[in-house]
Amino acid sequence: MARALALYAAVAFAGLLRSTASAYSWQFTSTPQQCQNLTLSLSGSGKAPYSILVIPFGPSPLPNNTEVRRIFSTQFNGTSATFRLPYPADSQFVAVVSDSSGFGSGGTSVAATVQSSSDSSCFNASAEVQPDFSFSIVPSNQIVECSPTRIWWDPSLVQGTPTFQGIIPGGESFSVPESNFSTVAEQGYGFTWTPSLRIGTTVIITGGDDRGPGTAGSGLYIVSQGSTQDCLTSDSPSSTPGSPAGGSYPTSTNGLGSSSSTSSSHSNVGAIVGGVIGGVCGFLAALALVGLLMWRRRRRRGAHPKGLPVDLLQGPSDEGGSGSSERLPRYYEPEPFMLPEPSATSAPSEYPMSERRSSAGFLGAAGRPGTPSATSTGRTGRTGKSGMPPSLRPVNIVQHEDAGPPPEELEEEPETVELPPAYTNLKRGPPPPADDDEQSPAPPAEETARA
């Protein structure tokens, strides 16, 4: 937390130093409206000639996302300039003011929104605009922090030597350095540039040639993280606002004058200073809170002694004095087992042993005689009023019988299993009988004589 607050304070303070070091500032004196004139004024010690570069920002609000906005630039020598804004309502733009000392010396505005009006004669809502030539970036469609980036184009479509600018909304814009032009297969003619931009920075890359700035169109990128940050310095551009007066404009639609815009620009400086002071105060408050918590924690630890060993059989002692700690706990005091004296009325029991074993007695939870109570133990050996022996509780001893040997198993009847014949001992049957004529026996002699 402390490191984050320190980083925030350093960034805000650096932005404050950059804003105070700017030689001049500028502001819009009227609200941007569709197809209406827009006026800006300058203050400070800038060096003429001046120029303002207006770049479309964000998607087109027209149906089918038809892009009718062009990048344009206006030059002037005085402390004010007026130009017509050919952008449709609800669209956005970013403006950069420069003087003879270099590009973006006056600062860059945040994204401004165009208000509506009854005039729509400055653009054709059905005609898509195209740049005079286009450029490409390798790696494709991305800018990597401190990594080589190649910008290339088709030289047959360019007039003269193209130039490129990096525009950071609400931050510091810059000219892209160009050197070592070369031709690469399938990439055309161009150069390699190492962007010293911090991760997360929103940047618009625009290009132009001898026909003017912005003739190559523009591309919106967000800087991604690279493998190294060696190229970054304290002057590396970022999305932190540079010139606080750059691009301020009244938010109402009644066309406020320069006094309102000037107060808006001064409020930015006050906001930065207030942010620095607030960050420092927040850091000190956090340190004080951490110190208070540590002090309370140490105090709470000192109020409680270290934990003593816990005796699960003995709770906190209720007896005062130093002598209580020298005596054994009541649960640990031995008590001898003594048989009761036989009385004159005792006689042999009339009941059998089985009935006597079933008599109830006092047993503990685990089937053993109960633990001596604190009352009887406390009287043993400590009361000097009576010489009588301590009275013991009667104890009945019960011995249970087991179930005995298991019953003998009865012999089971044999089981009969019926099986089909095996057909292994077949006997030959009697021969078949002979024919009647051949084997019929002769009649007896008696029957023949009778005949």
144 in the same domain as 82: no
- 194 Cβ partners below 8 Å, 6+ apart? 146, 147, 148, 149, 231
The reported pLDDT for the residue numbered 28 is: 94
147 in the same domain as 103: no
159 in the same domain as 84: no
CA distance 67 to 61: 9
Q: How confident is the model over 33-62, as pLDDT tens digits?
A: 999 999 999 998 889 999 999 999 999 999
The reported pLDDT for the residue numbered 417 is: 84
| Residue 144 covered by a domain | yes
- CATH number reported for the structural domain that contains residue 94 in this entry: 2.60.40.10
Q: Residue 381 in 3-state DSSP?
A: coil
- Mean pLDDT for 385-397 is 67
Question: H or E segment at 264?
Answer: helix 258-303
Q: Is the pLDDT of residue 200 over 60?
A: yes
From the list 180, 232, 206, 179, the residue with the least C-alpha distance to 96 is 206
Quick check: 46 and 23 in contact, CB under 8 A?
Answer: yes
Which of 185, 202, 223 lies at the terminal end of a domain, its last residue?
223
Question: H or E segment at 374?
Answer: helix 374-379
CA distance 16 to 273: 7
CA distance 168 to 37: 25
pLDDT band at 377 (very low <50, low <70, confident <90, very high): very low
The reported pLDDT for the residue numbered 98 is: 94
Torsion of CA 284, 290, 292, 295, to 10 degrees: -140
The reported pLDDT for the residue numbered 201 is: 92
Q: Is the pLDDT of residue 197 over 50?
A: yes
- Mean pLDDT for 178-195 is 91
Q: Is the pLDDT of residue 65 over 80?
A: yes
| Residue 109 covered by a domain | yes
DSSP 139-153: TTT--BTTS-EEEEE
- Mean pLDDT for 227-252 is 63
- Mean pLDDT for 157-180 is 93
Quick check: 171 and 247 in contact, CB under 8 A?
Answer: no
Q: How confident is the model over 311-357, as pLDDT tens digits?
A: 665 555 544 444 444 555 565 667 777 766 665 444 454 445 444 44
From the list 56, 37, 33, the residue with the least C-alpha distance to 114 is 33
The reported pLDDT for the residue numbered 178 is: 92
Quick check: 196 and 235 in contact, CB under 8 A?
Answer: no
Quick check: 47 and 108 in contact, CB under 8 A?
Answer: no
Which of 223, 253, 288 lies at the terminal end of a domain, its last residue?
223
Instruction: Give the chain's length.
Output: 451
145 in the same domain as 90: no
Q: Residue 87 in 3-state DSSP?
A: coil
pTM of the model: 0.52
100 in the same domain as 149: no
Using a pLDDT cut of 90, give the percent of the chain over it: 39
| Residue 307 covered by a domain | no
Query: How remote is the C-alpha of 260 from its chain's centroid?
Result: 44
CA distance 259 to 267: 12
Among 27-41, 91-105, 348-362, the range scoring the smallest mean pLDDT is: 348-362
The reported pLDDT for the residue numbered 8 is: 41
pLDDT band at 365 (very low <50, low <70, confident <90, very high): very low
Residue type, position 58, single letter: G
| Residue 191 covered by a domain | yes
76 in the same domain as 31: yes
Angle, to 10 degrees, between the axis of helix 258-303 and the axis of helix 2-21? 160
- Mean confidence (pLDDT) of the chain: 75
CA distance 115 to 89: 5
100 in the same domain as 46: yes
Among 96-110, 146-160, 255-269, 383-397, the range scoring the smallest mean pLDDT is: 255-269
Q: Look at the chain and report how many structural domains it folds into.
A: 2
- Mean pLDDT for 200-225 is 94
Q: How confident is the model over 430-448, as pLDDT tens digits?
A: 777 765 555 555 555 555 4
Q: For the purposes of burial, counting CB atoms within 10 Å of the CB of 241, is it exposed (0-12), middle (13-18) or buried (19 or more)? A: buried
pLDDT band at 2 (very low <50, low <70, confident <90, very high): very low
Where do the H-state alpha helices sit in 178-235?
A: none
Structural domain range at position 154: 135-223
Which of 195, 223, 251 lies at the terminal end of a domain, its last residue?
223
Pairing of β 92-99 and β 112-113: antiparallel
The reported pLDDT for the residue numbered 330 is: 60
Block residue for tokens 């551009």: 237
